[in-house]
Structure 1
Amino acid sequence: MKPNRNEALSAIEKSWDIAIIGGGATGVGIAADAASRGYKTLLLEKYDFAKGTSSKSTKLVHGGVRYLANGDVKLVYSALRERGLIFKNAPHVSFVQSFVIPSYSLFGKLKFLIGLKVYDWMAGKLRIGKSTLLSKKEVVEKLPKVKTKDLIGGVQYYDGQFDDARLAINLAQTAMEHGATVLNYAEVVRIEKDANQKVNGLTFVDRETGVSYTVSAKAVINATGIFVDDILKLDTPSHRNLVRPSQGTHLVVDKKFLGNEDALMIPETSDGRVLFGVPWHGKVLLGTTDTPLNAHEIEPKPLDQEIDFILKTADQYLENAPTKKDILSIFAGLRPLAAPTEGDANSTKEISRDHKLISSASNLITITGGKWTTYRKMAEETVDMAIKIGHLPVKECRTTDLPIHGFTKEKHTGHWQVYGSDVQEIMQLTESNPELKEKLHDRYDFIAAEVVWACQQEMALRVEDFLARRIRFILLDAQASLEAAPKVARIMAQCLGKSDEWIENEINSYKQLVRNYVI
């Protein structure tokens, strides 16, 4: 189907093989898997695709060096394989990234090299680089801003980087290209059951119009991340929470604070975690934290102590490190971790990041936990369970060799790379309408044609959808993105047939959102 939301709703069918609740990494991955196997697939997302945790990651496609140190070998092995598959199937949104660990003791230098050699070995034929020792001079060449006092050298290793929200959008498009119906701003409000109290469908509300729809499905999947317990309570009101959120905060600063194209990896911070400084879309992303919370929300607010921790840790390793006034954007995502037992309520670093797949007594399937890198494997296992529970004809998974929408090995420059094979079509928009070449902001290369493309082909319905997830403007420079919002709103209104009142409301709504991304 074409990505026209109104057409999809007007032609919504009553019966499906698989209905998926949640349009984050896990949900869109499941939709792509199910649809590519030939199952009649429906995906419903309450907000926009990847609005929650899935657009607020550290932007790393990785096995997890930290998890290896914690002894979680199974997770690391699986993630390294999946990292390789992402590089193979979505090369337009994923990249090999060099990381440097500066060492200030010989023991630390050798310890990290041994661990990373094991990391390389575990990747097998999907290894993307070779870990090596670096001299002090080589570390400084790669990280010009690193502190040199007591520096004796370091270790270089390779991992992956990607654009999380862009991959989510491309997975949704891939699902649609294989026949799935995929809807954002569609809120599931009730789980439907048969006379035997087995799940056989759901009711959702189109948040744009308020119209309700009830559909049947042979299998219903709850893939809502930190919100899985909310859906489980629709199924069983007495349900006890499965997950507790852990907040990860990130700061975005100018690239001058790091230096080159290599990333910084700090393996042992003051609280025993790791912290990254990663070049990303011409900026540097610093993070992340791991703060247990008792509540979950769609737009979490970074905590002052998290900001201070990141800046303090960066200052221990970087000359002329950034301060609060240098922060261009700040964002937080919530990880859905297994709810802790008594005694470890304030500890999340030891909880496995592996996923949990369960089915309720009612046959509602729930998938939670995991990480972006393993989205494909999680989807495969979930669809396999849906086949059994829904008594669907068995069809083998196809996603190990399935090119993701936008697939191309051609490397475009700047932010155009993430559009992959769509770049030429976006450029064609400017040929027929030269006004669409106009920049959205003087300091950045985003142009008006991208807004039109997002509305026509990527189901963007709100200014936030475009500025936060179709392009990553709010994460790169929150204040500059706000300055571009009025122009974006006017273009979107013209594309979507919206009123002047809609434009004003969207600008005001985006202004409120940006407050979460600035200090």
Structure 2
Amino acid sequence: MSTSGTSSKLTPQSRERSLDVLRATAQGDPLDVLVIGGGVTGAGIALDAVTRGLTTSVVESQDWASGTSSRSSKLVHGGLRYLQMLDFHLVHEALTERDLLINTLAPHLVRPVSFLYPLEHRVWERGYVGAGVMLYDTLASLAPGKRALPFHKHVTRKGMERLFPDLRHDAAIGAVRYWDGSVDDARLVSTLIRTAASYGAGAASRTQVVELTKDASGRVDGAVLVDLETGDRFPVKARHVINATGVWTEETEALAGGTGGLRVLASKGVHIVVPRERIKGKVGLILQTEKSVLFVIPWSRYWVIGTTDTPWTQELQHPVATSADIDYVLAHANEVLADPLTRDDIIGTWAGLRPLLQPGTKEGTSSAKVSREHTVASPVPGLTVIAGGKLTTYRVMAEDAVDFALGEGAKARPSITAKVPLLGAVGLDVQQNWGRRHAATYGWTPALVDHLLHRYGSLLTDIVALCQEDPSMATPLEHAPAYLRAEIAYAVSHEGVLHLEDILLHRTRLNYEVADRGLAALEEISRIAAAGLGWDEETRLAEVAAYTARAEAEAAAEDQPDDASAEQVRLAAHDVSPLVDLPKSS
């Protein structure tokens, strides 16, 4: 299924075609826009640019969403904490984007989730928090279109015990219940990339920018790329280059030379995963800690608990959870849980780096401060840099970045992404109606059908087609029964998989949602991948060995006391597509 005449399939072949288009720009017409970075911001920029009628390609040095955009708290929210800072514009903007995603752009991917905000003081706190959440709801009501989520409610202690039986009875006298959205962040990114591809954007993962080139006037006019799968190095020309590399912002800026640009620091956030049955509760919790906000978030089969907020000064590619991080999250969760969690309850963890935008820009940079959260700047003519922001407002960030790059030309080509549903959104209600028939045909449970609709939306027809062609595809993986065999085959045939780790980390969540990081299912998954990608047995075994080493290194890192020692253990596992070393930023 495609939204235009261009296929939305991401395959090794489509990647090679995208690289060929990039190579051709060196002798022919330059691209209008080259996007560096395949996280949610870069993916959003690619979609924004191509739907304005601009020739566009996006490159990512590793897998799509391999950085921050697969390691978030997986929430689409307005930022309740920003009300404490009186930043009403930012909250309204985020709530507008939240409701747009739920109502129009990605109703299959973004779903409502409710939280309890426990109250410790009967009178003043209920009034204070209640007023804040009322303002939150009021700002959401100002968004155009129908309201996406219910209004908040005050909950008594008895009501709180009904909604979350495992909340300690002495932890709160009541609560305020409010609603936000949850999302599989990596799937949002891959869906954005596929949607952009369906409108004609080029997309090449495992493709690293190693140099930014300039014309005689000193304007950035393209880049030098390295295909990390083959080692091929080649130039590409573009009228506008947009840097959306998150915590790598300064490293990418440095490739253009000079000292201008944005300043970004990395802050580590850690989450733990525990089985759903381990905590009795129907809703989530939000708790204030001395360092950060702690969420207890219900997912389909488990709970996600996080996050931390600590400076990260190690290498940027492989942040890991340390023993101290895990103890911190457990300790704060256990302050309100009647049945305390232990390390034995944890089935997975992940660590991500937030790109924290620092005040001001480097000397010689022209910039437009767009919001408290993100900034767009131009350290060198022809190069646009965007940094900061959050997952919820990716579309606004993308619009701002493209507007800034085009300058006065943006008026003739305004953004239209507020009206462009992502793949899987159109026809979702039709496939929901067909879900019961598919369940009867293949023996799928209602929970499995819901899982498929959440992941694919109306693209469920593609999964069904695979099952019709090969009935064995309709059966669950033996050692990871939450996923069908067809989902692995589809990841290979449509979702841009190049390596086994792409499946385990980003197309599924097996790396952290089962206790063995998916190792028991590796044999079956690797054989499906090998059939789809044409791997010989030597390649398949090498892929299995590489992922196994990664999983074991991540597990060992969790036993280390600090970031430095955890990183040393983690880096013992070699990368399947090692990055080319770049000059250090100044």
Question: What is the TM-score with the length of structure 2 in the denominator?
Answer: 0.83
Alignment match of 1:187 (pick from 203, 208, 219): 208
Alignment match of 1:20 (pick from 35, 41, 51): 35
Cα offsets for 1:350-391 (capped at 9, x unmatched): xx96011101133311001100000000000111112128x6
Aligned to 2:500: 463
The question of 1:405 aligning with 2:423 is answered yes
* Residues in 2 aligned to 1:171 and 1:337: alpha-carbon distance in whole angstroms: 23
Conserved in 2, the CA contact under 8 Å of 1:478 and 1:517? no
1:23-42 superposed matches below 5 A: 23-42=38-57
Alignment match of 1:372 (pick from 391, 401, 409): 391
User: CA 1:184–1:139 in structure 2 vs 1: closer, same or farther (change >3 Å)?
Assistant: same
How far the C-alpha of 1:196 sits from its partner, in A, is 1.1
Aligned to 2:235: 214
The question of 1:418 aligning with 2:455 is answered yes
Cα offsets for 1:33-75 (capped at 9, x unmatched): 1111110001000001100100111111001111222333332
Between 94-103 and 296-305, the greater mean CA deviation after superposition = 296-305
Aligned to 1:345: none
Cα offsets for 1:393-416 (capped at 9, x unmatched): 821111111100111443563421
Alignment match of 1:274 (pick from 277, 293, 300): 293
Cα offsets for 1:314-342 (capped at 9, x unmatched): 1110111221111111001100002379x
* Residues in 2 aligned to 1:133 and 1:257: alpha-carbon distance in whole angstroms: 26
The question of 1:388 aligning with 2:407 is answered yes
The alignment-based identity, stated in percent, is 35
Alignment match of 2:337 (pick from 315, 318, 334): 318
Conserved in 1, the CA contact under 8 Å of 2:479 and 2:521? no
Conserved in 1, the CA contact under 8 Å of 2:111 and 2:181? yes
Aligned to 1:499: 536
* Residues in 1 aligned to 2:94 and 2:50: alpha-carbon distance in whole angstroms: 23
Figure out how many residues of one structure are paired with residues of the other and give that number: 506
SS in 2 for 1:54: helix
Cα offsets for 1:116-152 (capped at 9, x unmatched): 0111111124442211111111001111110002632
* Residues in 1 aligned to 2:88 and 2:459: alpha-carbon distance in whole angstroms: 38
User: CA 1:241–1:293 in structure 2 vs 1: closer, same or farther (change >3 Å)?
Assistant: farther
Between 327-336 and 432-441, the greater mean CA deviation after superposition = 432-441
* Residues in 2 aligned to 1:158 and 1:11: alpha-carbon distance in whole angstroms: 45
Report the residue type matching 1:371 in the other structure: K
SS in 1 for 2:380: coil
Question: What are the ranges of 5 or more consecutive residues in structure 2 without an aligned counterpart?
Answer: 1-5, 361-370, 436-448, 559-586
The question of 1:200 aligning with 2:221 is answered yes
Aligned to 1:448: 485
How far the C-alpha of 1:281 sits from its partner, in A, is 2.9
Report the residue type matching 1:394 in the other structure: A
Conserved in 2, the CA contact under 8 Å of 1:95 and 1:162? yes
Alignment match of 2:109 (pick from 71, 90, 93): 93
Alignment match of 1:156 (pick from 177, 199, 218): 177
* Residues in 1 aligned to 2:223 and 2:380: alpha-carbon distance in whole angstroms: 16
Cα offsets for 1:439-466 (capped at 9, x unmatched): 3233522122112211111111111111
* Residues in 1 aligned to 2:134 and 2:411: alpha-carbon distance in whole angstroms: 43
SS in 2 for 1:317: coil
The question of 1:427 aligning with 2:464 is answered yes
User: CA 1:469–1:281 in structure 2 vs 1: closer, same or farther (change >3 Å)?
Assistant: farther
SS in 2 for 1:358: strand
Conserved in 1, the CA contact under 8 Å of 2:31 and 2:56? yes
SS in 2 for 1:460: coil
How far the C-alpha of 1:437 sits from its partner, in A, is 2.8
Conserved in 1, the CA contact under 8 Å of 2:262 and 2:387? no
Aligned to 1:514: 551
Conserved in 2, the CA contact under 8 Å of 1:257 and 1:321? no
* Residues in 1 aligned to 2:171 and 2:418: alpha-carbon distance in whole angstroms: 46
Question: What are the ranges of 5 or more consecutive residues in structure 1 without an aligned counterpart?
Answer: 342-351
Alignment match of 1:285 (pick from 304, 311, 314): 304
The question of 1:439 aligning with 2:476 is answered yes
Aligned to 1:347: none
User: CA 1:8–1:273 in structure 2 vs 1: closer, same or farther (change >3 Å)?
Assistant: closer
How far the C-alpha of 1:486 sits from its partner, in A, is 2.2
User: CA 1:517–1:415 in structure 2 vs 1: closer, same or farther (change >3 Å)?
Assistant: farther
How far the C-alpha of 1:257 sits from its partner, in A, is 3.4
Report the residue type matching 2:49 in the other structure: A
SS in 1 for 2:393: helix
The question of 1:120 aligning with 2:119 is answered no
Report the residue type matching 1:373 in the other structure: T
Cα offsets for 1:257-288 (capped at 9, x unmatched): 3323311111x21x153110001132100001
Question: What is the TM-score with the length of structure 1 in the denominator?
Answer: 0.93
How far the C-alpha of 1:239 sits from its partner, in A, is 5.5
Between 25-34 and 379-388, the greater mean CA deviation after superposition = 379-388
Report the residue type matching 1:207 in the other structure: L
* Residues in 2 aligned to 1:18 and 1:44: alpha-carbon distance in whole angstroms: 11
Conserved in 1, the CA contact under 8 Å of 2:171 and 2:336? no
Report the residue type matching 2:84 in the other structure: A
How far the C-alpha of 1:304 sits from its partner, in A, is 2.2
* Residues in 1 aligned to 2:48 and 2:97: alpha-carbon distance in whole angstroms: 14
The question of 1:9 aligning with 2:19 is answered yes
How far the C-alpha of 1:220 sits from its partner, in A, is 0.2
Conserved in 2, the CA contact under 8 Å of 1:46 and 1:186? yes
The question of 1:68 aligning with 2:83 is answered yes
The question of 1:306 aligning with 2:321 is answered no
Aligned to 2:60: 45
Conserved in 2, the CA contact under 8 Å of 1:145 and 1:257? no
Between 123-132 and 217-226, the greater mean CA deviation after superposition = 123-132
Conserved in 2, the CA contact under 8 Å of 1:80 and 1:122? yes
Conserved in 2, the CA contact under 8 Å of 1:38 and 1:178? no
Report the residue type matching 1:97 in the other structure: V
Aligned to 1:109: 126
Report the residue type matching 1:307 in the other structure: I
**Root-mean-square deviation (Å):** 2.0
Alignment match of 1:145 (pick from 152, 160, 166): 166
